[in-house]
Amino acid sequence: MLVAGKDLRIERRSRVALQQIVPFGGIVVLVFAFALDSDRTLLSRAAPGLFWAAVLLAMILAIGRSFAVEEANRARDGLRLSGLDGGAIFLGKAAAVAAELLVLEVVVGIAVVVMYDVTLRGALVLVCAGIAATVGLAATGTVYGVLAGGLRARETLVPLLVLPAVMPVMLGATRSFQAALDGAPGDAWPWVQLLVAFAVLIVAAGTVAFGPLLEEA
Amino acid sequence: MTARTWKRLFLAATLVALGATAVFALWVTPPREEQGFEAVRLLYLHVPCAWVAYLAFGITAFASLLWLVPRTRSATWDLLAGASAEVGVVFTGLMLVVGSLWARPTWGTWWEWDARLTTTAILFFLYLGYLALRRTGATAAERGKRCAIAALIAFADVPIVHFSVTWWQTLHQQGTVFNPQLDVKIDGSMAFTLVLAVAAFTMLYGYLVLERFELAQLEEGREERELQHAIAERVRAERSEQVVPA
């Protein structure tokens, strides 16, 4: 909690996520519209996938930011010396990233609804799937963020590591959103379960692995 | 006999096995109508590649695990994991390319969003990322832990990816265009050739990993020697400095 508070406080003061990452998510929404030639039916049909693709791309930036904060002034050493448990630091950093992602998802979601002409349905599924997917994404990103921490090519390495690993989340989130918007929320629940299972597994793995990794880097 | 001679013998045996596989695959086995006529011969390349790729990633995960357990930790396991992953990525790439070449005449398309294909493609990128992580120029000790954990996460991710992709296909594209049944009434010579090919490729895998592993050891050793050299130089310089004022 302390670590999450710290990261969110930095964010509140610097507003990098708000002023750079969220607008980035917005511009990706526009890019997809150009790529698909503003075909309304196509856009509204592909909306769930495009939404999550935009979130995924913006997430890469959020992860980069979350660990750039630790690189500056050797703050990472400060974290290590703080006496906090490695698992707790992991949970804190992941929670901060998740909070930023949720804000991003709301903004990008509004943009998608307005621009791609989507009718929102199945709110319960959307919220559950959204939260489970966000936790999975934030946790995976945080694990790989520290894995690549302090290395030379960190900025380019993280996307390569994270994107293939979160493909199940991308699939599950897209499919459950699709089912909800199609008015068949029953089809979405297996996917939501997959998202929850993924999130639980990666959070557990991260909690165990984070301490040693932070020590090393 | 020295280790080097053994290695040469092993290489010779591997080459003989590969040659025999080529002869069988190209001339002895019959073409198959339902597997794309002559294109079926590509399977003698495709199947062993797939086997070697999975074997290689399995060994990478196993070696990484051994590295992480304090009692069995040694640089050997780290280097073995890296060597095996490298060979595995090459064979995964080869498997995808050969499979694609085979699919075009047989299924009429280069690529199909089938669960196995999609999983393999993601697997390929997962381990490309792993190799990239290995190459970031950290010291051996730093690299060991990061890479071992990354390898285990990647290895654990593969079943989840496969599961989700399978689900995706069964839920949303009922009855894909094709259903590759490699075990259709297989001809005797075909089965033999497949077994031979798998054996030959496993030997090739063993040889390549051995070579790569020795090379990695030499690379590590070079850094060590350079360090020793630098220390010796420094000591000598300091001694001569001490001598001058006296």
What confidence category does residue A37 fall into, taking pLDDT thresholds of 50, 70 and 90?
Answer: confident
What confidence category does residue B176 fall into, taking pLDDT thresholds of 50, 70 and 90?
Answer: very low
Rounded Cα gap, residues B164 and A134, in angstroms: 17
Mind telling me how many Å the CA of A72 is from chain B's nearest CA?
A: 19
Contacts of B168 in chain A (CB under 8 A): 171, 175
Pick the residue with more confidence: A193 or B38? Answer: A193
Smallest CA-to-CA distance from A118 within A46, A60, A189, A33 is with: A46
- For this complex, say whether ipTM is above 0.90: no
Least CB-CB distance to B128: which of A151, A160, A187?
A160
Put simply, the answer to whether A172 touches B171 (Cβ < 8 Å) is: no
Q: What is the mean pLDDT of residues A128-138?
A: 90
- pLDDT confidence of residue B179: 46
Put simply, the answer to whether B149 touches A151 (Cβ < 8 Å) is: no
**Are the CB atoms for B172 and A175 separated by under 8 Å?**
yes
Residue with tokens 């989700």, as numbered in its chain = B164
Smallest CA-to-CA distance from B202 within B23, B46, B48, B25 is with: B48
What contacts A67, CB < 8 A, 6 or more positions away?
Answer: A145, A146, A148, A149, A154
Residue B45 pLDDT > 60? yes
Q: What is the pLDDT of residues B206-241, one digit of tens each?
A: 889 888 888 888 887 787 788 888 888 888 888 887
Token reading at A165: 């690993």
Put simply, the answer to whether A213 touches B154 (Cβ < 8 Å) is: no
Token reading at B119: 């999983």
Mind telling me how many Å the CA of B18 is from chain A's nearest CA?
A: 33
Least CB-CB distance to B145: which of A143, A152, A216?
A216
Please tell me the pTM assigned to this model: 0.80
- pLDDT confidence of residue B171: 58
Q: What is the mean pLDDT of residues A88-96?
A: 84
Put simply, the answer to whether A157 touches B133 (Cβ < 8 Å) is: yes
**Are the CB atoms for A142 and A63 separated by under 8 Å?**
yes
Q: Domains of chain A: which residue ranges?
A: 2-216
Report the alpha-carbon angle B114-B115-B121, nearest 5: 90
What confidence category does residue B137 fall into, taking pLDDT thresholds of 50, 70 and 90?
Answer: low
Residue B44 pLDDT > 60? yes
Give the mean pLDDT of chain A.
81
- pLDDT confidence of residue B178: 44
A151 touches chain B (CB under 8 A): yes
Least CB-CB distance to A148: which of B133, B156, B168?
B133
Give the mean pLDDT of chain B.
80
